[in-house]
Amino acid sequence: MSEALIDIVAVSGHTGVSRWQALARRGSVAGVATMRPIILFRRGFLLPGAPAPRPGAADLSLYVEPAWRRRGIGSRLLAAVREQAVVPSLVIDVITGSPGEAFSLRNGFRRIRSSRHDLLTYGDVHGAWLGELVDVEHPGYRLVHWTGDPVGAPRAGELLRDPSRPGSAVLTAAETDGDLAAYVVAVVGAPSPRRARQYGPAVFAEHRGRPLGRWVNAALIQRLREIHPEVNEIETDTAENDLAMLAEREYLGFRPLRRTRLYELTLP
């Protein structure tokens, strides 16, 4: 196998998705690059305080078949993307300490976030204990729930003004006098119907100091179980330097799963 025998070709993808393949002589695919618009909501970038990539940035994923690695194919795929992409920057998500991270650093990507992913398994949750957390009084605040699809990634407050309907998102919030104080969202269905993804909780500055984050999170875990009994685990990610939030995950029964880093490459 020789990398000189590899051609990099653009292939047609779905609308908005661009793909490049590294083709070996006999037509076998040695590697693939896929570029797609970032779904800000799914990346948690809309949470207050989250580091955001440049507006219009695209998500890039690269994959080279193990037998073809360390022969410059990933670099050639990236060069093709850089040459043809008309976006301000590329964002790549890698496992901490993986070849993908070494590759990103070598190619001038800049780190924008380090995260710990945690998993909560319903089998480990004591229902009565969770119920007690949800039932704790928070004077002046009330819990509200919303379900539907977060189309176009609007903000939580806008979703709550929308009627609930069937959809993949479940949002639980604490309100006071019609003002949004805290919220947390779970999205079900992808990548697996059994595992939901949680974003948040976020607590607005003027409402900190009360455990509203814990309250809405416990209520979301309970609510999700009621309306999506097929879901048996919840994955979430947290900035590695947010020690308070990491401790809160553990309090609620989440367990560390893996660490990832998000890198961004600015294009000329």
In whole angstroms, the minimum distance from the beta carbon of 186 to ligand COA comes to 25
Using CB under 6 A, list all residues that contact ligand COA. Answer: 61-64, 69-75, 92, 94, 98-100, 102-103, 106
Burial (CB count within 10 angstroms: exposed 0-12, middle 13-18, buried 19+), residue 44: buried
In whole angstroms, the minimum distance from the beta carbon of 205 to ligand COA comes to 35
Is 185 within 8 Å of 211 (Cβ atoms)?
A: no
List, in sequence order, every beta strand (DSSP E) within 97-228.
Answer: 110-121, 142-148, 169-176, 179-192, 195-203
In whole angstroms, the minimum distance from the beta carbon of 252 to ligand COA comes to 29
In whole angstroms, the minimum distance from the beta carbon of 76 to ligand COA comes to 7
Strand 110-121 and strand 142-148: pairing? Answer: unpaired
In whole angstroms, the minimum distance from the beta carbon of 44 to ligand COA comes to 18
Is 152 within 8 Å of 224 (Cβ atoms)?
A: no
CB-closest chain residue to ligand COA: 74
- HEC secondary structure over 48-74: CCCCCCCCCCEEEEEEECHHHCCCCHH
**Closest CB to ligand COA among 28 and 121?**
28
**Closest CB to ligand COA among 77 and 218?**
77
**Closest CB to ligand COA among 5 and 227?**
5
**Closest CB to ligand COA among 11 and 227?**
11
Is 200 within 8 Å of 174 (Cβ atoms)?
A: no
Q: Give the integer Cα–Cα distance in Å for 188 and 168.
A: 5
In whole angstroms, the minimum distance from the beta carbon of 258 to ligand COA comes to 12
**Closest CB to ligand COA among 67 and 205?**
67
In whole angstroms, the minimum distance from the beta carbon of 1 to ligand COA comes to 12
Q: Give the integer Cα–Cα distance in Å for 87 and 89.
A: 6
Q: Identity (one letter) of the amino acid at 198?
A: Q
**Closest CB to ligand COA among 38 and 92?**
92
Q: Give the integer Cα–Cα distance in Å for 70 and 56.
A: 31
Q: What are phi and psi of 84, to 5 degrees?
A: -105, -20
Q: Identity (one letter) of the amino acid at 169?
A: A
**Closest CB to ligand COA among 25 and 106?**
106
